[in-house]
């Protein structure tokens, strides 16, 4: 966990340094019909900021160092690929027809994170990455379809917020989604089946094995405690 936090701090330092020191003239990303269709929303900043809660959820469910390391390496890959693209091909978004002084929340966001480092949207890439991990974890927890639907709706809401806050344009979102999806698919396919098992399932499994009633039953049946079968 400490390594992930340290990596996040290093990423932010590198991100803002590249943002403020582009090596080439930034390319202005074109607008599409989707950008015109999605109107500006100052309240979307809440969805935009929820990424950091959303991204922490898989980490809260992982226990083994190997899992945390796998998650951290994949997240680093997204950040590194994004930063390389920003260095080689800096991008920005067109000025929005918004009076920012009337929207203090989004104005503050703009003052911190300027319109550069636009494509691919790393905000989107990390949202899709987190969604993929959470889908795998929820499936292994045996949760119902409702939880999985909420997961993807939350991800979609974050994607929407990147356009609604005028931090990105639709093409940035498409590129960011492609980056995040590519990394998480490769990351989860590399893990052996059953390697990712959330805390809740492990604790439930441990409870079943340590249940005194089951231990007495299987002891009387001549089965060792360590051989207690799962139900």
Cis peptide before 120 (omega within 30 of 0): yes
What are the angstrom distances between the C-alpha of 177 and each of 33, 132, 231? 18, 11, 39
pLDDT attached to residue 204: 45
The reported pLDDT for the residue numbered 155 is 98
Q: Give CA–CA dist 200/21, Å, rounded.
A: 45
Per-residue pLDDT of the chain (231 residues; tens, 9 = 90+): 565 567 667 777 777 777 777 888 989 999 999 999 999 999 999 999 999 999 999 989 887 788 888 898 999 999 999 999 999 999 999 988 887 788 888 878 877 776 777 899 999 999 999 999 999 999 988 888 999 999 999 999 999 999 999 999 999 999 999 999 999 999 998 765 555 554 544 444 544 445 454 445 444 545 444 444 444
Find the distance separating the first CA and the last CA of the chain, reported in whole Å: 33
Which is it for strands 91-92 and 27-28: parallel, antiparallel or unpaired?
Answer: parallel
**pLDDT for res 209:** 47
Q: What is the pLDDT of residue 2?
A: 61
What residue ranges do the domains of the chain occupy? 35-224
Q: What is the DSSP string of 75-139?
A: HHHHHHHHHHHHHHS-EE-PPPS--GGG-HHHHHHHHHS-SBS-SS-HHHHHHHHHHHHHHHHHH
Residue 228's pLDDT is: 43
Phi, psi angles (nearest 5°) of residue 49: -70, -20
- Who contacts 25 (Cβ-Cβ below 8 Å, separation ≥6)? 90
Specify the pLDDT at position 8. 67
For residue 54, what pLDDT is reported?
97
Cα-Cα-Cα-Cα torsion 230, 142, 210, 57, nearest 10 degrees, comes to 140
What is the pLDDT at residue 161? 96
pTM: predicted TM-score of the whole model, two decimal places = 0.79
Owner of token pair 């703009």: 110
Query: How much is the pLDDT for 231?
Result: 44
Q: How many residues does the structure list for the chain?
A: 231
The rounded distance, in Å, linking the Cα atoms of 64 and 195 is: 9
What does the alpha-carbon distance between residue 16 and residue 11 come to, in Å, rounded to a whole number? 9
């Amino acid at each position: 966990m400490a390594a992930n936090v340290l990596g996040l701090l290093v990423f932010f330092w590198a991100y803002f340094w590249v943002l403020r020191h582009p090596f080439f003239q930034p390319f202005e990303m074109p607008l599409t019909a989707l950008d015109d269709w999605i109107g500006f929303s100052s309240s979307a900043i809440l969805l935009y900021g929820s990424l950091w809660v959303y991204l922490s959820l898989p980490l809260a469910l992982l226990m083994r160092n190997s899992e945390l390391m796998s998650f951290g390496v994949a997240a680093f890959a997204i950040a590194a690929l994004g930063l390389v693209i920003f260095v080689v091909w800096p991008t920005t978004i067109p000025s929005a027809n918004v009076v920012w002084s009337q929207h203090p929340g989004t104005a503050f966001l703009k003052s911190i994170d300027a319109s550069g480092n636009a494509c691919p949207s790393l905000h989107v890439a990390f949202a899709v990455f987190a969604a993929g991990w959470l889908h795998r974890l929820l499936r292994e927890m045996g949760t119902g379809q409702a939880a999985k639907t909420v997961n993807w709706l939350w991800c979609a809401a974050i994607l929407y917020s990147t356009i609604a806050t005028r931090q990105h344009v639709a093409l940035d979102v498409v590129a960011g989604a492609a980056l995040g999806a590519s990394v998480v698919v490769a990351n989860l396919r590399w893990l052996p089946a059953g390697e990712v098992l959330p805390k809740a399932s492990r604790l439930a499994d441990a409870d079943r094995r340590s249940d005194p009633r089951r231990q007495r039953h299987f002891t009387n049946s001549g089965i060792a405690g360590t051989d207690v079968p799962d139900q």
